């Protein structure tokens, strides 16, 4: 069969034939041990499940919602629905019922595959309102003994039905796979959307496959790679790296035991290929910093000394300058004493290629990992492009840009400064939303909504969301995210929201990192009772003020942005939370919503008030709400 | 769980005194296979004493105890009781603080290990098979109690609620015929209580354990237990389903007190 006519089910068949029982396709940690499933197991599992679904009436074009943590069974569910010409619709596992309702209803899902009792409960509650949902299949039977709904089936039971169905219809599976065409919809990914309802991005088989091939070709990935599957399955990044590329290349994905064991499990696997959004890289850095603060003074001294060396070396390497012999000797010594053991602790010693994407990464954070010797690179992608727009090339890295256009992608910048692109991974349209499709897809070019430009080196530089870039009253360019990212490099700052559109100066909300600041406070014997209490301690204000000075200094060196330094700030009384709608599930600030909810706080930042009263509702994970009152201090920061 | 089946534990007219104080006065009770039974009562009613009698820490002065259809001597070593299939947790935690979670739970399997010192040392033959079997059981419990992330952490460094969970894990590890829980939820916040209540129910319904527990939180007791025995000053004053107990005047009196007060 023609290579370009292949769909994922065909690729799965190829892999099973090529690697059979010789290579692991998926590992899952269960009962403290890594359990391997070979490519043959992968195929067998998918086949039984697909036939089981068929016996329950799964038709071509049917949608199957998939919800849960990264589990082999859920990846098999994706493949199984594709085998039958169906479309998987992955959902965010921490979404609350209200959010799931929209997507389940809009996607017209007939089947749902849930990981466990927690997810099944949400689906069961929703099924009453969405009669179109016919079957709910769950994998983990724990706690499910008292459920007797006839439409609720256990995964293994469906596979049993499949084996029976397969005996009666021996050709069914292959026939259905062969009906698959490259222009079938492979997946619908709902974008979390910073505004309005989520939109269902339809990606065709050929787009997903071509984008995956583009990636793996670009970095020369082989079937020997190991990657951790720990990011939400509903995120395009996970689909690209742990499903599409894994199938196309034949490498192994590793599902951790629990979300809480990811760090430990990563260390056991020692992945060679790492993909993480900036907030995860930030977490890793924070962890290192906290542990270093607690380490013996000699280790701490060594760490700071050698990180300083590494920083210098990385600056030279990035500028293509040669490293002086003395410095190089120190760097090699540092590798032996500090960088190696540190990477080993993070489970990154074997990393060949690492990517960060999803949001801009702070240059300092980026350089930290690169200087340790991790080949960390940025990629710029969107759900609409199968995460495939631009990539940083080995040896041509500029921390301020997102690299050059990926193979096969054409990038154009509009007169308004918006980035538009056309590439193999481009989507086919938003599901049941032609108006939005028309607005986004113009002459085959996707309007990214991001403001950016191409630098002299031919790199794409993204400044901010096009609609968020604005000016201060004095005419200075105000790119909030640029400032926020600089703030967030501090291990003590978890989130930040900068304000300044049509204002006289820049002011900011800061969310402290409870773990890092709490640890800092404990070591200084500062007693606190809660997040709110901790955030309002004068010592914590001083701590954060110092971080803001650092950012202001760095901004003062940029001719375009030096007038956009932060003048006033306050520490929020709670963490910004997707359950409260303040940030998206992928942790992007929803500016409009925040501006509305905290309007009084923003107003206070632009007066000379020294504190402000806040009265806010919080939503708990089960959907209940509560109000809290707090008095927030406002402080001024020095400008340069 | 029907009352007609043979009780797994039967205690008849148990009496025990400490000095002049009668801690238990002719207390009789039965625990039936597959049930969750609660022993409740005001402070000093003799609840923990009763558990200590059951697992051999105290020797009663009088009475008879039948376990699993056979009469058991009144004076018996606690580890013999454990070997018979009764395991317990303690009101005040009794974990090995320096050992990690995994090892603490493995301790619960000790009674089931048969391989000799030497063959364990070279990890061969039966000891290998046994080791695999015990590790599997321990991992099953870790999965059941959802404590994968603290598997390798020293028990002494864990928060209180988790230590309680580890202790429950150790009791489960011996696969007892009867599980005694002494205030499994004492000192916990609401969320931790709900978690433990769910694990107790799961252990009972999914794995089929018979459980007798002491608990002060009446809400939890009424929610999860099949049958309740009420003690007051060493006497059994009531026995029945949660609904019966709730409306029993003697129980109300014991809990709310009465002008005359005093013990018998």
Residues B72 and B199 in one domain: yes
Residues A527 and A538 in one domain: yes
Residues of chain B in contact with residue A260, where contact means CB-CB under 8 angstroms, are: 148-149
To test the contact with chain A by mutation, choose from B149, B151, B191 the residue with the greatest count of A C-beta atoms within 10 A, namely: B149
Taking the CA of residue B142 and the nearest CA in chain A, the distance in Å comes to: 8
Res B113 pLDDT > 90? no
Residues B159 and B180 in one domain: no
Q: Is residue B232 part of a domain?
A: yes
Residues A436 and A489 in one domain: no
Task: Tell me, letter by letter, the H, E, C secondary structure of A485-548.
Answer: HHHHCCCCEEEEEEECCCCCCEEEEEEECHHHHHHHHHHCCCCCCCHHHHHCCHHHHHHHHHHH
Residues of chain B in contact with residue A142, where contact means CB-CB under 8 angstroms, are: 144, 202, 206
Task: Tell me, letter by letter, the H, E, C secondary structure of A200-247.
Answer: EEEEEHHHHHHHHHHHHHHHCCCCCCEEECCCCCCCHHHHHHHHHHHH
Taking the CA of residue A143 and the nearest CA in chain B, the distance in Å comes to: 7
Structure tokens given for A366? 């980026």
Task: Please report the residues numbered 24 through 83 in chain A whose beta carbons come closer than 8 angstroms to any beta carbon of chain B.
Answer: 30-33
Higher model confidence: residue A78 or residue A95?
A: A78
What is the rounded distance in angstroms from the CA atom of residue A161 to the CA atom of residue A281? 44
| DSSP class per residue in B33-44 | TT-EEEEE-STT
CATH code of the domain covering residue B245: 3.40.50.300
Kindly state the average pLDDT of the residues A77-105.
94
Is A30's CB within 8 Å of B149's CB? no
What is the rounded distance in angstroms from the CA atom of residue A606 to the CA atom of residue A349? 48
Res B209 pLDDT > 60? yes
Q: Is residue B5 part of a domain?
A: yes
Angle at B182 between CA B96 and CA B231, to 5 degrees: 155
Q: Which of A443, A432, A503 is nearest to A474 (CA)?
A: A503
Q: Is residue B171 part of a domain?
A: no
Per-residue burial over A46-74, b if 16 or more Cβ lie within 10 Å, else e, is: bbbbbbbbbbbebeeebbbbbbbbbbbbb
pTM summary value: 0.84
Is A260's CB within 8 Å of B149's CB? yes
What is the rounded distance in angstroms from the CA atom of residue A559 to the CA atom of residue A234? 40
pLDDT, tens digit, 9 for 90 and up, residues A124-160: 999 999 999 999 999 999 888 889 999 999 999 999 9
Closest residue in B to A31 (Cα) is: B139
Instruction: Tell which of A465, A487, A518 closes a domain.
Output: A465
Res A391 pLDDT > 90? yes
Is A31's CB within 8 Å of B143's CB? yes
Res B261 pLDDT > 80? no
Residues A284 and A356 in one domain: yes
Mean pLDDT of chain B: 88
Q: In this complex, which of A30, A32, A146 lies closest to B151 when CB atoms are compared?
A: A32
Kindly state the average pLDDT of the residues B210-217.
91
Q: What pLDDT is attached to residue A401? A: 87
Residues of chain B in contact with residue A140, where contact means CB-CB under 8 angstroms, are: none
Residues of chain A in contact with residue B202, where contact means CB-CB under 8 angstroms, are: 142-143
What is the rounded distance in angstroms from the CA atom of residue A487 to the CA atom of residue A476? 19
Kindly state the average pLDDT of the residues A62-72.
97
CB neighbour list of residue A531: distance below 8 Å, 6 or more residues apart? A512, A514, A573, A574, A575
Q: Which of A498, A606, A486, A635 is nearest to A553 (CA)?
A: A486
What is residue A256's DSSP assignment? -
Kindly state the average pLDDT of the residues A603-607.
91
Q: In this complex, which of A31, A143, A261 lies closest to B149 when CB atoms are compared?
A: A261
Q: What pLDDT is attached to residue B258? A: 60
Q: Which of A32, A38, A43, A36 is nearest to A83 (CA)?
A: A43
Taking the CA of residue B82 and the nearest CA in chain A, the distance in Å comes to: 26
Is A31's CB within 8 Å of B149's CB? no
Task: Please report the residues numbered 233 through 262 in chain A whose beta carbons come closer than 8 angstroms to any beta carbon of chain B.
Answer: 257-258, 260-261
Count of C-beta atoms within a 10 Å radius of residue A159 = 24
Q: To the nearest whole percent, how much of chain A has pLDDT over 90?
A: 68
Taking the CA of residue A32 and the nearest CA in chain B, the distance in Å comes to: 7
Q: What pLDDT is attached to residue B104? A: 95
Task: Tell me, letter by letter, the H, E, C secondary structure of B132-177.
Answer: HHHHHHHHHHHHHHCCHHHCCCEHHHCCHHHHHHHHHHHHHHCCCC
Q: Is residue B93 part of a domain?
A: no
Q: What pLDDT is attached to residue A170? A: 95
Taking the CA of residue B55 and the nearest CA in chain A, the distance in Å comes to: 30
Residues B79 and B180 in one domain: yes
Q: At A472, is the pLDDT very low, low, confident or very high (cuts 50, 70, 90)?
A: confident
The domain total for chain A is: 4
pLDDT, tens digit, 9 for 90 and up, residues A170-204: 999 999 999 999 999 999 999 876 567 899 999 99
What is residue A583's DSSP assignment? B
What is the rounded distance in angstroms from the CA atom of residue B188 to the CA atom of residue B194? 9
Residues B79 and B4 in one domain: yes
Residues B198 and B230 in one domain: yes
Residues A241 and A157 in one domain: yes
Closest residue in A to B202 (Cα) is: A143
Q: In this complex, which of B140, B148, B206 lies closest to A257 when CB atoms are compared?
A: B148
Is B136's CB within 8 Å of A31's CB? yes
Higher model confidence: residue B263 or residue B41?
A: B41
Which domain does A318 fall in, by range? 275-349+351-380
Q: Which of A269, A229, A261 is nearest to A70 (CA)?
A: A229
What is the rounded distance in angstroms from the CA atom of residue A144 to the CA atom of residue A24? 31
Q: At B123, is the pLDDT very low, low, confident or very high (cuts 50, 70, 90)?
A: confident
Kindly state the average pLDDT of the residues B76-82.
90
What is the rounded distance in angstroms from the CA atom of residue A293 to the CA atom of residue A299? 10
Q: What pLDDT is attached to residue A194? A: 57
Q: Is residue B170 part of a domain?
A: no
Angle at A227 between CA A225 and CA A229, to 5 degrees: 155
Closest residue in B to A146 (Cα) is: B205
Count of A–B CB contacts within 8 Å? 32
* Contact call for residues A381 and A411 (beta carbons, < 8 A): no
Q: What pLDDT is attached to residue B252? A: 84
Count of C-beta atoms within a 10 Å radius of residue A455 = 12
Instruction: Tell which of B109, B137, B163 closes a domain.
Output: B163
Is A143's CB within 8 Å of B202's CB? yes
CB-based burial of residue A241 (10 Å sphere; 0-12 exposed, 13-18 middle, 19+ buried)? buried
What is the rounded distance in angstroms from the CA atom of residue B11 to the CA atom of residue B58? 14
Q: What pLDDT is attached to residue B230? A: 92
Residues of chain A in contact with residue B142, where contact means CB-CB under 8 angstroms, are: 31-32
Closest residue in A to B143 (Cα) is: A31
Residues B260 and B139 in one domain: no
H-helix segments, B23-86: 47-54, 78-84
What is the rounded distance in angstroms from the CA atom of residue A39 to the CA atom of residue A78? 15
Residues A181 and A260 in one domain: yes
Residues B129 and B184 in one domain: no
Q: What pLDDT is attached to residue A184? A: 96
> Is the torsion defined by CA of B214, B218, B219, B221 positive or negative?
positive
Instruction: Tell which of B115, B135, B163 closes a domain.
Output: B163
Residues B79 and B190 in one domain: yes
Residues of chain B in contact with residue A139, where contact means CB-CB under 8 angstroms, are: none
- Which residues pair with residue A609 across a beta bridge? none
Taking the CA of residue B152 and the nearest CA in chain A, the distance in Å comes to: 10
Residues B156 and B228 in one domain: no
Mean pLDDT of chain A: 91
Instruction: Tell which of A272, A298, A319 closes a domain.
Output: A272
Residues A355 and A437 in one domain: no
Res A439 pLDDT > 70? yes
pLDDT, tens digit, 9 for 90 and up, residues B192-201: 899 999 999 9
- Angle separating helix axes B126-145 and B190-205, nearest 10 degrees: 130
Q: Which of A143, A53, A115 is nearest to A255 (CA)?
A: A115
Is A258's CB within 8 Å of B148's CB? yes
Which domain does B248 fall in, by range? 1-85+176-264
Is B143's CB within 8 Å of A261's CB? no
Which residue do the tokens 């002086």 mark? A324
Angle at B139 between CA B137 and CA B143, to 5 degrees: 115
Q: Which of A131, A95, A124, A129 is nearest to A110 (CA)?
A: A131
3-state DSSP helix/strand/coil % of chain A, to nearest 5: 40, 25, 35
No. of H helices and E strands in chain A? Answer: 23, 29
Residues of chain A in contact with residue B190, where contact means CB-CB under 8 angstroms, are: none
What is the rounded distance in angstroms from the CA atom of residue A103 to the CA atom of residue A225? 34
CATH code of the domain covering residue A130: 3.40.50.12780
What is the rounded distance in angstroms from the CA atom of residue A586 to the CA atom of residue A29? 25
Res B264 pLDDT > 70? no
Structure tokens given for A380? 């710029």
Closest residue in B to A32 (Cα) is: B139
Res B262 pLDDT > 70? no
Q: In this complex, which of A30, A33, A145 lies closest to B206 when CB atoms are compared?
A: A145
pLDDT, tens digit, 9 for 90 and up, residues A27-53: 999 988 999 999 999 999 999 999 999
What is the rounded distance in angstroms from the CA atom of residue A368 to the CA atom of residue A348? 14
Residues A632 and A590 in one domain: yes
Residues A371 and A394 in one domain: no
> Pairing mode, if any, of strands B235-240 and B227-232?
antiparallel
Res A318 pLDDT > 50? yes
Res A210 pLDDT > 70? yes
Q: To the nearest whole percent, how much of chain A has pLDDT over 70?
A: 99
Q: Is residue B40 part of a domain?
A: yes
Higher model confidence: residue A610 or residue A192?
A: A610
Which strand (E) or helix (H) includes residue A25? Answer: strand A24-30
Q: What pLDDT is attached to residue A279? A: 84
Kindly state the average pLDDT of the residues A605-624.
80
Higher model confidence: residue A545 or residue A362?
A: A545
Q: At B225, is the pLDDT very low, low, confident or very high (cuts 50, 70, 90)?
A: very high
Res B138 pLDDT > 90? yes
Q: In this complex, which of B136, B149, B205 lies closest to A258 when CB atoms are compared?
A: B149
Phi then psi dihedrals of residue A85, to 5 deg: 75, 15
Residues A326 and A398 in one domain: no
Interface residue B244 vs chain A (CB under 8 A) = no
Is A32's CB within 8 Å of B142's CB? yes
Q: What pLDDT is attached to residue A70? A: 96
Q: What pLDDT is attached to residue A114? A: 97
Residues B28 and B60 in one domain: yes
pLDDT, tens digit, 9 for 90 and up, residues A422-436: 999 999 999 999 999
Closest residue in B to A261 (Cα) is: B149
Structure tokens given for B227? 């049958």
Residues B130 and B194 in one domain: no
Distances (CA, A) of A506 to A474, A545, A563: 11, 14, 9
Interface residue A264 vs chain B (CB under 8 A) = yes
Residues of chain A in contact with residue B152, where contact means CB-CB under 8 angstroms, are: 264
Instruction: Tell which of B117, B142, B163 closes a domain.
Output: B163
What is the rounded distance in angstroms from the CA atom of residue A383 to the CA atom of residue A237? 8
Interface residue B133 vs chain A (CB under 8 A) = no
Res B1 pLDDT > 60? no
Task: Give strand ranges (E) for A280-395.
Answer: 353-356, 376-380, 390-391
Q: Which of A129, A47, A59, A52 is nearest to A87 (CA)?
A: A59
Q: What pLDDT is attached to residue B90? A: 85
CB neighbour list of residue A7: distance below 8 Å, 6 or more residues apart? A82, A177, A180, A181, A182, A184, A186, A205, A209
Instruction: Tell which of A253, A272, A291 closes a domain.
Output: A272
CATH code of the domain covering residue A434: 2.30.38.10
The domain total for chain B is: 2
Residues A158 and A258 in one domain: yes
Residues of chain A in contact with residue B144, where contact means CB-CB under 8 angstroms, are: 142
Structure tokens given for B125? 């033959």
Residues A533 and A460 in one domain: no
What is the rounded distance in angstroms from the CA atom of residue A604 to the CA atom of residue A610? 9
Q: At B2, is the pLDDT very low, low, confident or very high (cuts 50, 70, 90)?
A: very low
Res B124 pLDDT > 90? no
Taking the CA of residue B184 and the nearest CA in chain A, the distance in Å comes to: 20
Residues B13 and B123 in one domain: no
Res A560 pLDDT > 70? no
């Amino acid at each position: 069969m023609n290579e370009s006519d292949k769909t994922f089910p065909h690729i799965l068949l190829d892999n099973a034939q090529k690697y059979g029982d010789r290579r692991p396709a998926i590992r899952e940690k269960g009962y403290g041990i890594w359990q391997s499933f070979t490519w043959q197991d992968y195929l067998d599992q998918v086949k039984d499940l697909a036939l089981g679904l068929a016996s329950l009436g799964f038709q071509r074009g049917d949608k199957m919602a998939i919800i849960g943590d990264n589990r082999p069974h859920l990846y098999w569910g994706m493949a199984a629905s594709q085998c039958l010409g169906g479309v998987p619709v992955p959902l965010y596992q921490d979404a609350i019922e209200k959010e799931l309702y929209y997507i389940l209803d809009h996607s017209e899902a007939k089947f749902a595959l849930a990981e466990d009792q927690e997810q099944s409960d949400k689906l069961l509650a929703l099924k009453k309102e969405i009669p179109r949902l016919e079957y709910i299949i769950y994998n983990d039977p724990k706690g499910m003994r008292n459920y007797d709904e006839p439409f609720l089936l256990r995964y293994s039971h469906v596979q049993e039905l499949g084996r029976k169905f397969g005996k009666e219809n021996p050709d069914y599976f292959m026939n259905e796979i062969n009906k698959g065409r490259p222009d079938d919809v492979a997946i619908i990914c709902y974008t979390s959307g910073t505004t309005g309802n989520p939109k269902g991005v339809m990606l065709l088989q050929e787009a997903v496959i071509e984008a995956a091939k583009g990636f793996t070709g670009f970095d020369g990935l082989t079937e020997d790679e190991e990657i951790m599957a720990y990011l939400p399955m509903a995120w395009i990044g996970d689909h690209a790296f742990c499903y599409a590329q894994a199938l196309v290349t034949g490498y192994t994905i590793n599902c951790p035991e629990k979300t809480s064991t990811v760090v430990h499990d990563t260390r056991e696997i020692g992945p060679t290929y790492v993909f993480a959004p900036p907030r995860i890289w930030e977490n890793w850095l924070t962890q290192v910093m906290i542990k270093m603060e607690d380490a013996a003074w000699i280790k701490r001294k060594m760490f700071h000394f050698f990180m300083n060396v590494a920083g210098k070396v990385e600056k030279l390497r990035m500028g293509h300058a040669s490293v002086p012999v003395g410095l190089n000797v120190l760097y090699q010594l540092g590798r032996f004493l500090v960088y190696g053991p540190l990477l080993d602790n993070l489970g990154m010693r074997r990393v060949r290629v690492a990517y960060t994407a999803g949001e801009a990464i702070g240059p300092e954070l980026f350089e930290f990992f690169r200087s340790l010797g991790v080949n960390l690179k940025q990629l710029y992608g969107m759900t609409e492009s199968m995460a495939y727009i631009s990539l940083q090339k080995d040896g041509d890295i500029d921390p301020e840009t997102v690299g050059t256009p990926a193979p096969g992608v054409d990038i154009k910048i509009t007169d308004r400064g918006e980035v538009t692109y056309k590439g193999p991974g481009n989507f086919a349209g938003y599901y049941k939303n032609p108006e939005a499709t028309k607005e986004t897809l113009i002459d085959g070019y996707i309007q990214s909504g991001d403001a950016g430009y191409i630098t002299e080196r031919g790199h794409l530089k993204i400044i901010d969301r096009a609609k968020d870039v604005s000016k201060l009253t004095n005419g200075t360019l105000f790119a909030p995210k640029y400032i926020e990212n600089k703030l967030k490099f501090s291990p003590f700052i978890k989130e930040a929201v900068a304000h300044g559109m049509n204002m006289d100066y820049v002011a900011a909300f800061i969310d402290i990192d409870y773990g890092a600041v709490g640890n800092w406070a404990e070591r200084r014997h500062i007693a606190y009772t809660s997040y709110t209490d901790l955030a309002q301690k004068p010592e914590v204000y001083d701590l954060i003020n110092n971080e803001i000075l650092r950012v202001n200094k760095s901004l003062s060196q940029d001719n375009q942005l030096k007038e956009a330094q932060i003048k006033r700030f306050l520490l929020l009384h709670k963490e910004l939370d997707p359950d409260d709608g303040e940030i998206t599930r992928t942790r992007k600030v929803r500016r409009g919503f925040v501006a509305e909810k905290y309007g009084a706080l923003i107003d206070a930042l632009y007066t000379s008030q020294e504190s402000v009263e806040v009265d806010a509702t919080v939503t708990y994970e089960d959907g209940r709400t509560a109000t809290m009152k707090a008095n927030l201090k406002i402080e001024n920061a020095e400008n340069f | 769980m029907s009352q007609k089946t043979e009780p797994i534990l039967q205690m008849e007219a148990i009496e025990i005194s400490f000095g002049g104080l009668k801690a238990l006065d002719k207390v009789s009770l039965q625990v039936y296979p597959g049930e969750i039974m609660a022993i409740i009562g005001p402070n000093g009613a003799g609840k923990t004493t009763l558990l200590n009698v059951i697992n051999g820490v105290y020797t009663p002065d009088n009475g008879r105890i039948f376990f699993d259809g056979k009469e058991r001597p009144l004076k018996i070593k606690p580890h013999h009781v454990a070997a018979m299939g009764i395991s317990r947790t303690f009101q005040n935690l009794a974990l090995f603080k320096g050992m990690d979670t995994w090892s603490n739970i493995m301790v619960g399997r000790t009674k089931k290990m048969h391989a000799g010192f030497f063959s364990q040392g070279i990890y061969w033959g039966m000891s290998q098979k046994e080791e695999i079997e015990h590790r599997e059981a321990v991992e099953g419990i870790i999965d059941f109690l959802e404590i994968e992330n603290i598997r390798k952490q020293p028990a002494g460094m864990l928060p209180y609620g988790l230590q309680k969970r580890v202790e429950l894990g150790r009791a489960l590890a011996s696969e007892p015929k009867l599980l005694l829980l002494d205030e499994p939820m004492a000192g916990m916040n609401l969320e931790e209580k709900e978690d433990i209540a769910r694990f107790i129910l799961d252990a009972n319904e999914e794995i089929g354990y018979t459980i007798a527990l002491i608990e002060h939180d009446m809400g939890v007791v009424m929610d999860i237990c099949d049958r309740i025995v009420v003690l007051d000053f060493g006497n059994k004053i009531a026995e029945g389903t949660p609904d019966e107990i709730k409306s029993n005047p003697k129980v109300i009196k014991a809990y709310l007190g009465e002008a005359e007060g005093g013990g018998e």
